[in-house]
Amino acid sequence: MRKRMRDCDSAHDCEHVYRVLGVALDIAQSEQDVNIDVLIAACLLHDIARPDQLRDHRVCHAEAGAKKAKRFLKKNGFGNAFARHVADCVRTHRFRKGGEPSSIEAKILFDADKIDVCGATGIARTLFYQGRLGEPMYACLADGSISDGTGDKAKTFFGEYKYKLENIRERLFTSRGREITRERQKTADAFYQSMLAEVRASREKGCALLEQALER
């Protein structure tokens, strides 16, 4: 896994995988009848196809990862039922694509993965990833003002925040996951509001001063 993840961006590296695993095991303590072996395997393998998606954005890393995980597990002596269960967890862990998680292990993986995009860690990961893709922090509206991200057509950090990060808690399946997210979200919200205020103030002040300079 470590060798495979060396080809990933810094937002989806081995440390991301280990953070997801740690949070998943935390959540599992509050749930019943969790197959810990399936959960651990699913967490370790959930982003195994990230390098493929990074090279070709037409690839869905969740779908491709499910196939890779199943092949890997069967090749290494795990039973068909175990491999299928892990593959189902991997296939449904993605926010934007994939069927809704059905098993408790799949729901825990989904929540743990999404929690890593919350709070200070989530802000850093999002900015790292979007910077890697060359996506801007924000977009400007027709009147020259800075959009808060709501309804942005282009992919921006503010747009990603409004679409995904701001409401991530509502998408979670476990009570423990929502509990963890509640505190982290306060940090993310404060960062977003501060950044939005800063760039808007800079734009407004700069435009006013430029207009004064041009009128001389």
Please check whether residues 127 and 98 belong to one and the same domain.
Answer: no
Number of domains in the chain: 2
Q: C-alpha angle 7/129/70, rounded to 5°?
A: 45
pTM for the predicted model, two decimal places: 0.88
Angle between helical axes of 175-214 and 119-132 (0-180°, round to 10): 60
Task: Please check whether residues 94 and 188 belong to one and the same domain.
Answer: no
* 110 phi and psi angles, rounded to 5 deg: -55, -50
Is the domain of 4 the same as that of 99? yes
**Domain around 204:** 117-216
CATH of the domain at 79: 1.10.3210.10
On whether both 43 and 85 belong to a single domain, the answer is yes
From its phi and psi, is residue 34 left (phi > 0), alpha (psi between -120 and 50) or beta?
Answer: beta
Each of the 216 residues of the chain gets a pLDDT tens digit; together they read 666 566 666 667 889 999 999 999 999 999 999 999 999 999 999 999 988 887 888 888 999 999 999 999 999 999 999 999 999 999 999 876 657 999 999 999 999 999 999 999 999 999 998 998 899 999 999 998 999 999 888 899 999 999 989 999 999 999 999 999 998 999 999 999 999 999 999 999 998 899 889 987
- In the numeric block, the tokens 């999002």 are attached to 126
Query: Which residue among 40, 74, 109 closes a domain?
Result: 109
* 72 close to 87: Cβ distance less than 8 angstroms: no
